[in-house]
Structure 1
Amino acid sequence: MDEYTVPTSAQPLLFSIRYIFFPALILSCLLAFKSSSWIRLLFLAWYTAHLLQGMSMRTGNSWSDYSNGSTLGGELMKTLSLLFLVNPAQDWCHRSDGNRKIANRPWWQRIYWCFCAAYTMRGVGWNFQVPGVPSPSRMNRYMFLACAVLRVVVSYLLLDAAQCLMQVIPFFNDPEPDASMRSYSYRVQVFYTVVCFSVPYGSIRFYYYLGAFFAVLTGYSSQEDWPSVFGSWADACSVRNIWGKTWHQMFRRQYSSIGKAVAKRLGAPPGSISSFIVQLFAAFLVSGIMHLFGDYTIGLKHIGVTLPFFVLQPFAILFEEFFFFGLVCLKVDKHIFSLPTPIKRCFGYLWTLVWFTYSSSWYIDPIAQAKFGRNAILPFSVIRFFQL
């Protein structure tokens, strides 16, 4: 296998069926039939062992391995939340349910309903829809399909550009031992950060809009069910907004449920500052643990190398909450002055850029040391084709 080969198309499909779809079907049955706690514990034990087996499989491509590991880690966190922290059949409902109770439906409808609830990650159209999801599309069906195709193409080209750059930049494909992007100029650090984070950004957009296109084309769902997967970059004037509005919200539901459970266990009153802080740190810790499974797929020595990036984010959010609160409500001689909104936003954009450029080193350096730049992200490069 040469350095730019990718796994065949059959491998990801079989992997998804075996380690994502099949366990999700069993999980849906357990939720639909309100299985007892001990049965859920047995399933969780089997499921954990099953996922660890999946994480031990290798494709020979670092990007695919890391994506598989992180995805399975996210599946484990989601399953834990659905089994023990929420009660979907009792507490959740879809806008199409009306007054019909899920318990009164045929068994196969209950399983399908639970399966949809589990895999509607942002809860679009459900009563548990997470905050920060962009407004539903107002385009008609044909305009939406055309826009989805355009977004798929743009996302593919973005991924193509990112992989071509990483394959020619020595820092990503042939780094010096223990090299850090902080040893480069600030402009280069910003460039490396943009290139590296273009991969998850482009990948999520590509698969999301590809799924949206086929779902709306076949009439399985309407365009209102597919709001933009990312928020507006104009909102990225704070670290909190980056994670809460601009970045995707795919895992926010399970992170929130775990965070609330931890805060309740620690005795933090709901709605209090202490509860907010506990939930904040718990959510990012769970996110770090999810990516830790991705670390495992690229080698035992890499386990936990990306964890500091996620653990540090709550500190930045708390800092900006207190610091910018002081800028907004600056009290002088019993008078409260507020900085003009444009100035506050400029400060916010600058702070956010500096923070992410600095903290991203804990995420990008391990990727570079694992020589991700030697592997292809896509099976076919449009850019390389036109360079020939």
Structure 2
Amino acid sequence: MTAIALKSTLWSLSIKPFKRKGGTNLLLNASDLALGLRGIGWNWSQVHLAPETRPTSSKTTFVLWTLASLCLHIPVFDALHYAVQSFGPTTFGTINGGSIFDDTLSPLLRYSRSTFISFLSGLVIYCAIRITYDVATVFGIVVLRQHPTQWPPIFNSPWRATSLSQFWSKRWHQLFRDFFVGVGGVPMTYMFGRIGGVLGTFFISGLLHDVGLWGMGKGSDAVCMIGFFIMMGFGVILEGFWRKVTGHRVDGWIGWIWMCTWLLGWLNLLVNAWAAKGLIGSLFIPDAQRLPVKIFGPLS
């Protein structure tokens, strides 16, 4: 609902009609306009799409490849989720929630531990999005009779990013990019230039994530949720300064180390907010069907 509200805001400001490239089914077009986040096949979309690696000439083959992806990512997701929960089986591993920071440890061990938890949590989020998208892909092709080209990859190997700018603009999923930029980035660019545009874009991203956290019914944590994305914006701005001063983009293995350090360091804020509200303790797969539980036993 939040996404539709943000998209509706952009629609009200559009100076040209929205047109779809091919297809005349009014019901499907209306549904795709309202629910489709990347605007694939529409003249308004400016989202970067990852290159396709699956065969698109045959729907059957494409669906089989997607089902294979599901068979891979579901157990990996469950194993990673179990691993994260195992660090706090009686605290943030439950729906009661808790902090990922262990005050009984020295600062070095405390933040090393929390950063590792955050890293694993990032992998969990990656797998969860892949699973959701794969399910939607199969539904779109089998039930709605859509073409495989309407379901390009949602990620572009984010672990290969060599800068924060590349990570957020091309390699992480681009589901909300249009209205993040349109609602937050464009107005702030007019008022404060590029710096305002970058921070405005990431502010709307943080706001959307905070609304999702608030939707769990345990309040919000705007400082951590919005703060994480604002710091991502500052990181992108720093990369712009670097390019302006040196004449070179942030890139290569040094850029990769920089990206990982900045991203994982501030990710502690985001993951701790999720942990405190009980999100990490959510039950996605019943314990009776969880392979890690059968192998290592229940967490509590």
Helix, strand or coil at the partner of 1:131? coil
**One-letter identity of the residue aligned with 2:158:** W
Alpha carbons 1:85, 1:257 under 8 Å: kept: no
Alpha carbons 2:92, 2:98 under 8 Å: kept: yes
**One-letter identity of the residue aligned with 1:320:** E
1:168 equivalent to 2:75? Answer no
Match of 2:171 in 1: 246
**One-letter identity of the residue aligned with 1:201:** Y
Distance 1:199 1:73, change over 3 A: farther
Q: Which of 305, 329, 349 is residue 256 of structure 2 equivalent to?
A: 349
1:15-26 aligned at under 5 Å gives the runs none
User: 167-176 or 126-135: which moved more?
Assistant: 167-176
Distance in 2 (alpha carbons) for counterparts of 1:308 and 1:248 = 20
CA shift for structure 1 position 262: 1.3
Unaligned runs of 5+ in 1: 1-71, 101-108, 269-273, 330-337
Match of 1:314 in 2: 233
Alpha carbons 1:77, 1:290 under 8 Å: kept: no
Match of 2:147 in 1: 222
Distance in 1 (alpha carbons) for counterparts of 2:280 and 2:269 = 17
Match of 1:113 in 2: 29
1:124 equivalent to 2:40? Answer yes
1:7-156 aligned at under 5 Å gives the runs 72-82=1-11, 84-86=12-14, 90-96=16-22, 110=26, 112-136=28-52, 137-139=54-56, 140-156=58-74
Helix, strand or coil at the partner of 1:360? helix
Match of 1:294 in 2: 212
Match of 2:133 in 1: 208
Distance in 2 (alpha carbons) for counterparts of 1:94 and 1:144 = 23
**One-letter identity of the residue aligned with 1:95:** K
User: 239-248 or 257-266: which moved more?
Assistant: 257-266
Distance 1:110 1:185, change over 3 A: same
Distance in 1 (alpha carbons) for counterparts of 2:157 and 2:202 = 22
Q: TM-score, normalised by structure 2?
A: 0.81
Unaligned runs of 5+ in 2: none
What CA deviation, in whole Å up to 9, does each residue of 1:263-294 have, x standing for no partner?
4763x6xxxxx2x3222111111111112212
1:249-268 aligned at under 5 Å gives the runs 249-259=174-184, 261-263=186-188, 266=191
Q: Which of 260, 263, 282 is residue 375 of structure 1 equivalent to?
A: 282
CA shift for structure 1 position 142: 2.6
Q: TM-score, normalised by structure 1?
A: 0.65
Q: Which of 224, 248, 255 is residue 305 of structure 1 equivalent to?
A: 224
Helix, strand or coil at the partner of 1:93? coil
CA shift for structure 1 position 323: 1.5
Match of 1:284 in 2: 202
Distance 1:307 1:129, change over 3 A: same
RMSD of aligned alpha carbons: 3.0
Q: Which of 169, 183, 193 is residue 118 of structure 2 equivalent to?
A: 193
What CA deviation, in whole Å up to 9, does each residue of 1:358-384 have, x standing for no partner?
111111222233344433233442332
Alpha carbons 2:232, 2:263 under 8 Å: kept: no
CA shift for structure 1 position 242: 1.0
**One-letter identity of the residue aligned with 2:43:** N
